[in-house]
Amino acid sequence: MEKATKRKVNNKKGKEEKPIVECDDESDAWWWLVHKGITASFLSIALFSLLVRVAVSLHPYSGAGNPPKYGDFEAQRHWMEITLNLPLKEWYRNSTVNDLRYWGLDYPPLTAYQSYVHGLFLRFFSPDSVALFTSRGHESYLGKLLMRWTVLSSDVLVFFPAVFYFVVVYYAGRNPSHRMSGIAWHMAIILLNPCLILIDHGHFQYNCISLGLTVGAIAFLLSDKDLVACVLYSLALNHKQMSAYFAPAFFSHLLGKCLRRQYPLLQVLKLGLVVLGTFLIVWWPYVHSMEAFLGVLSRLAPFERGIFEDYVANFWCTTSVLVKWKRLFPTQTLKLLSFGATISSCLPSMIQQIWSPSKQGFLYGLLNSAFSFYLFSFQVHEKSILLPLLPASLLATEEPFLFTWMTLYALFSMFPLLHRDKLVLPYLSLSALFILLNHLSSGRRDTKDTSAFRSFVTRVFLLCSVILHVVYLSMHAPARYPFLFEALIMLLCFSQFVFLTLYTNAKQWMLLKHSNLVDKEKKLL
Partner 1 sequence: MEEQTTPKLKKPPKPSKPITELWWFFAAAACVKLLLIPAYKSTDFEVHRHWLAITHSLPLSQWYFDETSPWTLDYPPFFAYFERFLSIFANLIDPQIVHVQKGLNYSSNTVLYFQRISVIFSDLCLLYGVYRLTRKLYSTRQKLMWVLVVWSPMLVILERLHFQYNGFFLGILLISLSYLEEGRDLMGGLVFAVLLCFKHLFAVAAPVYFVYLLWHYCWKGFVRGFWRLFILGAIVVAVFAVAYRPFIYHGQVISMALTVCL
Name the residue nearer to partner 1 (CB basis): 26 or 310. Answer: 26
Name the residue nearer to partner 1 (CB basis): 31 or 220. Answer: 31
Rounded CA-CA distance 190/370 in Å is 17
* Residue 44 touches partner 1, criterion: CB under 8 A: no
Give the binding range for partner 1 (CB under 8 A) out of 23-31, 227-235, 248-256, 455-463: 23-31
Q: Which of residues 394-433 bind partner 1 (CB under 8 A)?
A: 425-426, 428-430, 432-433
* Residue 40 touches partner 1, criterion: CB under 8 A: no
Residue 33 CB, shortest distance to partner 1, in Å, is: 9
* Residue 182 touches partner 1, criterion: CB under 8 A: no
Under 8 Å CB-to-CB from 32, ≥6 apart: which residues? none
Residue 336 CB, shortest distance to partner 1, in Å, is: 46
The correct pick among 1, 6, 22, 273 for binding partner 1 (CB under 8 A) is: 22
Give the binding range for partner 1 (CB under 8 A) out of 17-25, 65-73, 291-299, 479-487: 17-25
Rounded CA-CA distance 230/236 in Å is 10
Residue 154 CB, shortest distance to partner 1, in Å, is: 20
Provide Rg for the chain, Cα atoms. 24
Give the binding range for partner 1 (CB under 8 A) out of 56-64, 313-321, 354-362, 516-524: 56-64
Q: Is 357 helix (H, G, I), strand (E, B) or coil?
A: coil
Asked whether the beta carbons of 230 and 275 are under 8 A apart, the reply is yes
Rounded CA-CA distance 482/487 in Å is 10
* Residue 281 touches partner 1, criterion: CB under 8 A: no
* Residue 442 touches partner 1, criterion: CB under 8 A: no
* Residue 269 touches partner 1, criterion: CB under 8 A: no
Number of residues that bind partner 1 (CB under 8 A): 31
Residue 32 CB, shortest distance to partner 1, in Å, is: 5
Q: Is 380 helix (H, G, I), strand (E, B) or coil?
A: strand
Cα–Cα nearest to 467, from 500, 489, 483, 439: 489
* Residue 473 touches partner 1, criterion: CB under 8 A: no
* Residue 237 touches partner 1, criterion: CB under 8 A: no
Name the residue nearer to partner 1 (CB basis): 429 or 458. Answer: 429
Rounded CA-CA distance 198/204 in Å is 8
Rounded CA-CA distance 258/359 in Å is 14
Rounded CA-CA distance 521/525 in Å is 6
Rounded CA-CA distance 385/410 in Å is 6
Name the residue nearer to partner 1 (CB basis): 28 or 519. Answer: 28
Q: DSSP string covering 435-497, please?
A: HHHHHHHHHHS------HHHHHHHHHHHHHHHHHHHHHHH-PPPTT-TTHHHHHHHHHHHHHH
* Residue 56 touches partner 1, criterion: CB under 8 A: yes
**DSSP β-bridge partners for residue 308:** 380
Residue 202 CB, shortest distance to partner 1, in Å, is: 10
The correct pick among 267, 368, 397, 436 for binding partner 1 (CB under 8 A) is: 436
Residue 51 CB, shortest distance to partner 1, in Å, is: 7
Residue 245 CB, shortest distance to partner 1, in Å, is: 30
Chain-centre distance for alpha carbon 99: 31
Residue 444 CB, shortest distance to partner 1, in Å, is: 11
Name the residue nearer to partner 1 (CB basis): 52 or 229. Answer: 52
Rounded CA-CA distance 163/124 in Å is 31
Q: What angle do CA 286, 383, 490 make, to 5 degrees?
A: 140
Cα–Cα nearest to 113, from 245, 316, 284, 355: 284
The correct pick among 1, 6, 19, 266 for binding partner 1 (CB under 8 A) is: 19
Residue 150 CB, shortest distance to partner 1, in Å, is: 20
* Residue 356 touches partner 1, criterion: CB under 8 A: no
Q: DSSP string covering 37-84, please?
A: -HHHHHHHHHHHHHHHHHHHHTS--TTTT-TTT--HHHHHHHHHHHHH
Give the binding range for partner 1 (CB under 8 A) out of 51-59, 115-123, 162-170, 409-417: 51-59
Name the residue nearer to partner 1 (CB basis): 197 or 346. Answer: 197
Residue 18 CB, shortest distance to partner 1, in Å, is: 8
* Residue 145 touches partner 1, criterion: CB under 8 A: no
Name the residue nearer to partner 1 (CB basis): 32 or 483. Answer: 32
* Residue 487 touches partner 1, criterion: CB under 8 A: no
Name the residue nearer to partner 1 (CB basis): 272 or 443. Answer: 443
**DSSP β-bridge partners for residue 22:** 5
Residue 475 CB, shortest distance to partner 1, in Å, is: 20
The correct pick among 1, 6, 20, 120 for binding partner 1 (CB under 8 A) is: 20
Residue 428 CB, shortest distance to partner 1, in Å, is: 7
Residue 73: CA count within 13 A, CB half-sphere: 31
Identity at 399, one-letter amino acid code: E
Residue environment code for 324-333, b if the CB has 16+ CB neighbours within 10 A, otherwise e: ebeeeeeeee
141-144's contacts with Cβ under 8 Å and 24+ in sequence apart are: 143/77, 144/61, 144/73
Residues near partner 1 (CB under 8 A) are: 7, 17-23, 25, 28-32, 51-52, 55-56, 58-59, 425-426, 428-430, 432-433, 436, 439-440, 443
